[in-house]
Structure 1
Amino acid sequence: MATATQLQPQDVVTVENPGAAGPFLIVCEHASNAFPPPFGSLGLTEAQRLAHIAWDPGALGLARGLAARLDAPLVAARVSRLIYDLNRPPHSAGAMPARSESHDIPGNAGLTAADRLARTEAVYLPFHAALRAEISRRLALGRPPVIVTVHSFTPVWHGSPRAVEFGVIHDADPSLALATVAAARKMTALRTELNQPYSAADEVTHTLRLQASPFGLANVMLEVRNDLIAAPTAQEAMAETLAPVLHAALHQTETDQAGTAA
């Protein structure tokens, strides 16, 4: 198996709008379905590499739209989640899965401990170091960021249609997630649910737990059904819809906290 030593940090993570002055910091861990040369195709067909198992379709366009409207930096992955799922810790089987949904991933079968370490060092560590650096810069400036991770999900799961259109997920602190759900239900026509189609129990809040919770940062994970953001125009429209929701949710959260402190 090819090694990951050829990869450089800029091959696995991009930071856009680093000087943005808004309160939010946008993260897109599953932005890309790129398979860099050290890994080839992992034995997958072109159709599999385009499918949801390899990335979150539409998520990057939505994340960029939100970053532009919220004057926020964006930290995004540049490699497929099948090489390393950046929303999973290194000891998780899901970080480099041998099977995803109903698909076997031949290039991930039988990985040794050394293989897993090489991918962790090449992909996971640079990505999360870049995100931590953006957080740390804002903390040093006295502007603690609000962490928003952006994902998409399939409209059908194992043959069952999903009615939810907009899922809002929290880790330990539900404050911003609850406010986001309330704002979305008030301000949009999206069918919005809390902790759907996933929750922290499904091991999907690793980035929030690693990067936001230790600093006491407000945070939320957004999941949008990918048929609603399949085209660039739809991604822009969804960003236009959700940016005011996030502003309103943050305002409500800050108001609630001020009231509690008083």
Structure 2
Amino acid sequence: MLNPRAPSPFLLLGDHAGNRIPRLLADLGLDEKERTRHIAVDIGIGALGTALSSRLDATFIHQTYSRLVIDCNRRPGAPDSIPAVSDGTAVPANSGLDQAGAAARAAAIHAPYQAAIGSDIERRLAAGQQTILIALHSFTPSMRGFDRPWQVGILHDAGDSRFARAMLAFFDRDAELTAGDNEPYSMDTIDYTIPFHAYERRLPYAEIEVRQDLLADADGVAAWCDRIEQALRYALVEYPTL
């Protein structure tokens, strides 16, 4: 957790912000190139979340373990929570993993991460602190031969989606951007973190997807920190009227 007990209404989340692998798993049987690809980590999100945390004086709760160890934005036990193959790459340590092994990873990594989010939300609500969940993700410029035209996407579904829609409206006004509405992915029953924490509590939220090549260096991270800060501040004013 970065910047705990910060005063901002925004609680920043990074489900796939790191690529650490427990030593006992021996790098999952993958070389360094694979361990730094998008299959292992949301490229640029650790740096972007850190920058936004400082800019907004906001807490950033982020997972430092690789999504290939266990995906913290999936329900434990879901078929793709511990993938044996990801974007064409076989993950040897995940192949044939038994139920006990999967449960051990969930208990060691998934559960503490989600518990930290839930605990901070409850603390904030008890203190009367406005709380808006902002999940930060990044996506590849192309997938399976399709060049994705979006620079940014806003994901939303059930619960109180007004904040997400206000952010989308902000990005839609920018002629330099192609913003995706539930693109390049839809928020649906596959996603876990936002639905689990925001829907029942009726908390405002947005899941932000930024194209990874735009976060490839410090200048890119700084530029998107600026853009997202502007979008968040705009939506904070506009979403109650939607």
Would you call these one fold, judging by a TM-score over 0.5? yes
Cα separation, 1, equivalents of 2:51 and 2:241: 26
Normalised to the residue count of structure 2, the TM-score between the two structures is 0.96
The offset of 1:122, in angstroms, is: 0.3
Normalised to the residue count of structure 1, the TM-score between the two structures is 0.89
1:144–1:217 Cα contact (<8 Å) kept: no
Kindly indicate whether residue 175 of structure 2 is the aligned counterpart of residue 210 of structure 1. no
State the Cα RMSD in Å. Answer: 1.3
Unpaired runs of at least 5, structure 1: 1-14, 257-262
Paired residue total: 241
> Which secondary structure does the structure 2 equivalent of 1:95 belong to?
coil
Query: What are the equivalent positions in structure 2 for 1:165-204 lying under 5 Å apart?
Result: 165-173=151-159, 174-187=161-174, 189-201=176-188, 203=190
Cα separation, 2, equivalents of 1:107 and 1:144: 42
2:162–2:240 Cα contact (<8 Å) kept: no
1:228 alignment partner in structure 2? 214
> Which secondary structure does the structure 2 equivalent of 1:42 belong to?
helix
2:102 to 116, 127, 143: 116
Provide, for residues 64-83 of structure 1, a one-character-per-residue CA deviation record: whole Å limited to 9, x for no partner.
12222222100011110000
1:4 alignment partner in structure 2? none
Kindly indicate whether residue 18 of structure 2 is the aligned counterpart of residue 71 of structure 1. no
2:20 alignment partner in structure 1? 34
Provide, for residues 85-123 of structure 1, a one-character-per-residue CA deviation record: whole Å limited to 9, x for no partner.
000011211111111111111100111110011001000
The offset of 1:237, in angstroms, is: 1.5
Unpaired runs of at least 5, structure 2: none
Query: What are the equivalent positions in structure 2 for 1:25-174 lying under 5 Å apart?
Result: 25-173=11-159, 174=161
Distance 1:165 1:202, change over 3 A: farther
Distance 1:217 1:224, change over 3 A: same
1:239 alignment partner in structure 2? 225
| Percent identity of equivalent pairs | 36
Query: What are the equivalent positions in structure 2 for 1:14-29 lying under 5 Å apart?
Result: 15-29=1-15
Q: Where has structure 1 moved over 6 Å in runs of 4 or more? A: none
1:28–1:75 Cα contact (<8 Å) kept: yes
1:16–1:73 Cα contact (<8 Å) kept: yes
